[in-house]
Each structure stands twice: as structure tokens, then as C-alpha cells.
Amino acid sequence: MKSAESFTVADAYAWVLEGRYDAYFDIKLSFKQAVKDKDGAYHKYADKLTWIPYKGIETYPLIHRNKANQKFVKAYNKAVKELKKDGTLAKLSKKYFGEDVFNYVTK
């Protein structure tokens, strides 16, 4: 896989349709709006474009590592673990993304 120089989403869809690129990594909601929705800019190509989920890499927010932030980092990590354990993160994901996007994260 090779990255391209800067381009617009319109370029990316056009290049896939032209066969210049095999794929374009897009956010599912953006794909739905641009391709699947009947008013989407690329809806007329809905039979030629598809969205396939791919696994994500677990990432973490960057918080400056210094003495002043130690208490915040500890509280933040605790809160995220609790929200995951009690199902809140999955519920919020389903509410805003229509599915539990945490299923796409590799462990």
C-alpha cells in the first residue's frame, strides 16, 4: 500500500472508479453520506463502490507527561476503563455510529 500526496475525497473516489487505485480508506459515515444516501455526490456509483470494515490499531490520547498531569492521567485511565466495563462506550458508539466501533480495534 502506498500513500498518495494530498488530494480531495472527490479525487479519491474518482481514482478508484478509474482504476488508478484499488482502494480508498474512508470513514463509514462519510461513505454512507457520499455514496449510499440518494442525495450523495457519488450515489450514482453506489453499484461500483463498496465499504468494507477494517481493523483499527488501538491508540491512546497524547497527554503531556509531567508532574502536573499525573493526577489527571490516572483519573482519565480509570474513567475510560469503567466506561468500557459498564458498556457505556459501546452504547455511545452505537448511538453515534450505528454500531460498536470498538469491535474493529485489534488487541
> What local confidence, expressed as pLDDT, does residue 6 receive?
67
**How many residues are recorded in the chain?**
107
> What local confidence, expressed as pLDDT, does residue 88 receive?
97
pLDDT one-digit tens code per residue, 47-106: 999 998 888 777 778 888 889 899 999 999 999 999 999 999 999 999 998 889 888 887
Answer yes or no: pTM beyond 0.75. Answer: no
CA distance 97 to 46: 20
- Nearest-5° Cα angle at 106, 2 to 46: 55
Domain ranges of the chain: 9-45, 57-106
CA distance 60 to 89: 15
